[in-house]
């Protein structure tokens, strides 16, 4: 989505070609046209994250034909400089939020990888890990503020397309929200791994650590004849 230089806000999806073809009908649905109108109003009144050019980063970094793994998040981080369009990921030089820190701790334990300095998960996305938030935008400082403006319908369509058009994907559903979102996945065609959320509230109650989702994902990828993910961040 773009912001015109003239000062007039317009919303035009800029999305990678394989996704654009698969989602073409969604962009013309009444809910999406209304979503665009609401986003224009939001940008006139509030600071909205991530920046417009990064709203579709998950799709632009991981084309539909390259997707092997799907991680479903809830909405972007709402702090300054954090959100970069990939769920759980933060931009270079930004401190790791607690959930991301717990993801990296589980990665250390599961695969004996060093705790990374960068919290930018683009390295995963480039290998076929679709890092999909349910809502693709958020107001500054207000978590879940765009949960009800139509993004859920759009990302449900994304999950449905993945479920119907792809085979042997690995879906990682962390926490109750992702599990509910994942009910539309055809589990006869795909592998679904579930656990608690990596947030401290869940992780400290024993619902996150030890899930070994990273090694299990690679096991299933290799079993399906696919390249495993190199989870170590550069």
Task: Evaluate whether 71 touches 130 at the Cβ level (below 8 Å).
Answer: yes
| DSSP letter, residue 192 | E
> Other C-beta atoms within 10 Å of 184: how many?
13
Task: Evaluate whether 170 touches 68 at the Cβ level (below 8 Å).
Answer: yes
For tokens 């702090």, what's the residue?
79
CA–CA gap between residue 120 and residue 100 (Å, rounded) = 10
Q: Of 75, 110, 148, 156, which residue is the catalytic one?
A: 75
Known catalytic membership, residue 156: no
Task: List Cα–Cα distances, 120 to 114, 203, 219, 232, 234, in angstroms.
Answer: 15, 21, 24, 11, 10
Residue of 155, 197, 138 lying closest to 59 (CA atoms): 155
Residue 163: left if φ>0, alpha if ψ -120 to 50, beta else—which one? alpha
Residue of 214, 185, 215, 209 lying closest to 196 (CA atoms): 209
Burial class (CB in 10 A: 0-12, 13-18, 19+), 5: exposed
Catalytic residues: 75
């Amino acid at each position: 989505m773009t912001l015109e230089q003239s000062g007039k806000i317009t919303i035009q999806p800029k999305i990678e070609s394989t996704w654009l073809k698969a989602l073409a009908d969604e962009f013309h649905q009444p809910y999406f046209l209304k979503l665009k109108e609401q986003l224009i109003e939001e940008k006139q009144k509030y600071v909205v994250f991530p920046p417009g050019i990064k709203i579709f980063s998950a799709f632009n970094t991981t084309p539909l034909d390259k997707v092997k793994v799907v991680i479903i998040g809830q909405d972007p981080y709402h702090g300054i400089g954090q959100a970069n369009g990939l769920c759980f990921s933060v931009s270079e030089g930004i401190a790791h939020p607690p959930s991301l820190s717990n993801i990296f701790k589980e990665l250390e334990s599961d695969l004996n990888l060093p705790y990374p300095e960068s919290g930018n998960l683009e390295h995963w996305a480039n290998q076929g890990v679709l890092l999909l938030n349910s809502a693709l935008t958020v107001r500054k400082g207000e978590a879940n503020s765009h949960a009800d403006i139509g993004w859920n319908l759009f990302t449900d369509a994304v999950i449905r397309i993945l479920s119907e058009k792809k085979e042997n994907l690995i879906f990682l559903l962390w926490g109750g929200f992702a599990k509910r979102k994942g009910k539309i996945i055809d589990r006869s065609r795909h592998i679904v791994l579930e656990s608690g959320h990596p947030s401290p509230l869940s992780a400290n109650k024993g619902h996150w650590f030890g899930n070994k989702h990273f090694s299990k994902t690679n096991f299933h990828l290799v079993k399906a004849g696919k390249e495993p993910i190199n989870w170590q961040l550069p």
